[in-house]
Structure 1
C-alpha cells in the first residue's frame, strides 16, 4: 500500500480497504516501520480508529534502518538501543500503547540474537509489546532466540515456488510450538497472472528486480503458472485462489498474509478459503513447482535472508 510495489496508493482508498478487510473477518494486520519508511504505520493509525483496533491483532517490525547518503541504503540493526527506539517510534506512529506482535524484520549478524531478544523481553515486561517474532531467521537462530524468551511467530516466505523453508525452519517452528506467518504466498503476484505480471508493474516496483521475473527465467517459470492455472480451471477457482489455498492447507499453525491494494483482489483472496484440496491435489501442485523447475533465486544475491542469519555467540558481546 505504501512502498516498494509501485507508488503509494491513495490513503482514503487504503483506509477503506483495511476497514473492509476487518469487516470481512480479517483479524491480523501486518506492517513495518520500513514501509514508506514510516508511512504505512501512519496509514494504519488512521485505519485503526473507531474501534477497529480492538478487533485485530496488530504486528509491526524493526531491524531495517535507512541510511541517507550511504552506498548501502539499508542497515540491519539489532542492538538494544535501536530495538527500543524503533519500538517507541512505531508505537507513536501507530497511535497505540502496545503492539500485539513485534518482529525482528531481519537478523543483525553483528549482534548475538540473545542480546536482541533480551531487549525485546524487557519491552514485553514493560507492556509495550505482547509477543515476540522473528522474520527470515535460520533454524539455529530461532532456537537461540527461543531459549531467551518464547518466540510466538516466525515470518518467512512460503509459497508454491518458495519451499526450501520446509527443510529445517518449518520443522523447527513446529517442534517449538511457534506459529508461522507466510509472506508472499502468491509469489509476489506471480500466481495471479503468471508471466503477464511483469507487464503490469511500474518502474518503481521492486518486483521488477526479482531474479525469477527476469526475462531469462520468466518464460520457464511461466510454465509453472500454466500448470497451476490449468488445475484452477478444473477446480473452478482462480490460480491465485488455488496457490493461496495450498498455503492454507499447510496447517492451522500457518497464517498467510497476501497483500493487496484493491477490494476486488481482497475478495478474491478470501475466496481461497472455500477451495478444498485433497492430499493428491496438494502433491500435484507441489510437483508443478518442484525446486528443480523454479528458475532464479527469491532475491538478488539472496541478501538479508535466513540463509545467512547466524549471529555471533553471546560471549563475544560487549555492551557499549
Structure 2
C-alpha cells in the first residue's frame, strides 16, 4: 500500500483509509454484521490500510466499541481517528436521523474519556471536531481540543466540514492536522476554496463518502432499492426524480472504468486521489469484496483524458442533505 504525508502534522497514512460508520450507523440495519465488520478491519490492515476512522456518534457509541474490539492486539498497526461534537436525537431513529452540534468545551473534555475507553486505547491518534457548533465560538471548542493534546489523551486534532474562516480561526489557536469533508465526483464544493487552503497551509484533507454513499459504484440504480431505515432514502439526491438524472454521472464513471478494465468504484476513488498528495479518502466498507476493490484504486493511474472527462461530468441534482 502506498502511503501519504497529508500536511505538515507528521501523520503518515495509507493512501486510502477505512471509514467504519456504515458498520453500525444509518445504512440498512439488516446488512450489518459485526463479525464480518471485524474481518473487514483485519483484512484492511493486512492489505496495508493504516488509517481507521470512526466517531462517538456512530451507533451511537457502538461503532467505537466495535473498532476497539477489532483492534485488540493490533492497535499499534494503525492510525486511529475518532470524532466528537455531534449529539444524536434517537427518538425518531431509524426512521429519521437528527443530530445537533455540541462544541462546548465541557462536552469535548467529557467525551474523550468515553472514546478512549470504548476504543480500548490510551491515546487517540487523531481527534476531530465532527462539526463546528454555531452556538460556540470555534476558538473555545478548538482550545478544548488543544488541551487534550497537552494532556496526552490525543496526538493530533482535526476538523470536519469546516470552512476557510473556521480553519483560519482554529489554526491561530493550535495546529490543524487535518480536515475531513465530503468530496467525490458528485460533491465537489471543497475544490473551490477549502482544498486549496488545506494544501497551501499544510493541512491534510480526508474525504468522506468518496463513493457518493455508494451511488458512484453503480450499485444503486433506483430509489426503490433503499429501505426506509436507510438514511439515504431521506436525502434529496436519492429521491426518485433526482436519482434518475444523477445516473448520468454514474454512466460517465462507468465509461472511464471500461477503458481500464476497472470498476466504477476504483475510478471514483482514483479521481479523488488525483486531487492532491495531501488527500487521503476514507471510503466505508462493510464487505470484504468491497474493501479489496477499493484498495486496488490506489494503483489505478487515470490519464489526462480520463480526468478531463470526469471533471466535466454533470453536477448532481439535489442537495447533499
Contact 1:156–1:181 (8 Å) recurs in 2: yes
Is 195-204 or 100-109 further displaced after alignment?
195-204
Q: TM-score, normalised by structure 1?
A: 0.88
Match of 2:69 in 1: 46
Cα distance, 1:88 vs. partner? 1.0
Contact 1:195–1:222 (8 Å) recurs in 2: no
Match of 2:50 in 1: 27
CA distance in 2 between counterparts of 1:228 and 1:20 reads 27
Q: Whose helix proportion is higher, 1 or 2?
A: 1
Q: Given the alignment, which residue of 296, 305, 316 partners 2:318?
A: 296
CA, structure 1 residues 197+49, in 2 after alignment: closer, same or farther (shift >3 Å)?
A: farther
CA, structure 1 residues 41+235, in 2 after alignment: closer, same or farther (shift >3 Å)?
A: same
Which of the pair has more CA radius of gyration?
1
CA distance in 2 between counterparts of 1:207 and 1:104 reads 23
User: What do residues 202-260 of structure 1 show as CA deviations (whole Å, max 9, x unaligned)?
Assistant: 32111111111111211111112112212211221111111111011112210000101
2:133 aligns to what SS in structure 1?
coil
Q: What runs of 5+ residues in structure 2 fail to find an aligned partner?
A: 1-22
Contact 2:222–2:240 (8 Å) recurs in 1: no
Is 1:60 the equivalent of 2:82? yes
2:82 aligns to what SS in structure 1?
strand
1:151 aligns to what SS in structure 2?
coil
Contact 1:153–1:180 (8 Å) recurs in 2: yes
Q: What runs of 5+ residues in structure 1 fail to find an aligned partner?
A: 300-320
CA, structure 1 residues 83+62, in 2 after alignment: closer, same or farther (shift >3 Å)?
A: same
Match of 1:37 in 2: 60
Q: TM-score, normalised by structure 2?
A: 0.88
Contact 2:184–2:212 (8 Å) recurs in 1: yes
Is 1:126 the equivalent of 2:151? yes
Cα distance, 1:73 vs. partner? 4.5
CA, structure 1 residues 76+25, in 2 after alignment: closer, same or farther (shift >3 Å)?
A: same
Is 1:269 the equivalent of 2:294? yes
Is 217-226 or 193-202 further displaced after alignment?
193-202
Is 1:163 the equivalent of 2:188? yes
CA distance in 1 between counterparts of 2:150 and 2:169 reads 20
Is 1:88 the equivalent of 2:113? yes
CA, structure 1 residues 195+68, in 2 after alignment: closer, same or farther (shift >3 Å)?
A: closer
CA, structure 1 residues 27+232, in 2 after alignment: closer, same or farther (shift >3 Å)?
A: same
Match of 2:134 in 1: 109
